[in-house]
Structure 1
């Protein structure tokens, strides 16, 4: 086999491998179930409420 033929075959194998890995990554990404935290379970919202509540308590005193 000539060098050109071997290079073409190696290139095709690499291209097919990359396409398979790319397709697997996209499929895995789309199958991931995204969730959103409820407002009651949001720790950042609780921290903001505690800070604003502390400021309001200081104003009331």
Structure 2
């Protein structure tokens, strides 16, 4: 009975350790997001409008 309990505790600690290591690596990963092409088009249109107003 005690052998089963000891083995179970060891398994719990190994799983807990692996979960902590995996979570730590996930938080240290650098996530990047591509810019939204629609937003860029909108900004380009605003810049064009500003240039036209300045040239008039």
Q: How would you bin the TM-score normalised by the shorter chain?
A: 0.5 to 0.7
TM-score by length of 2: 0.60
Structure 2 unaligned residues grouped into runs of 5+: 38-56
The structure that is helix-richer by fraction is 2
Runs of 4+ in 1 over 4 A off after TM superposition: none
In structure 2, distance between residues paired with 1:14 and 1:31:
26
Aligned residue pair count: 39
CA shift, 1:32, in A, is 0.5
Match of 1:13 among 10, 14, 21: 10
Q: Bigger relative contact order, structure 1 or 2, given CA contacts below 8 A and separation 6+? A: 1
Structure 1 gaps, min length 5: 40-44, 46-61
In 2, the alpha carbon distance for the partners of 1:7 and 1:28 equals 32
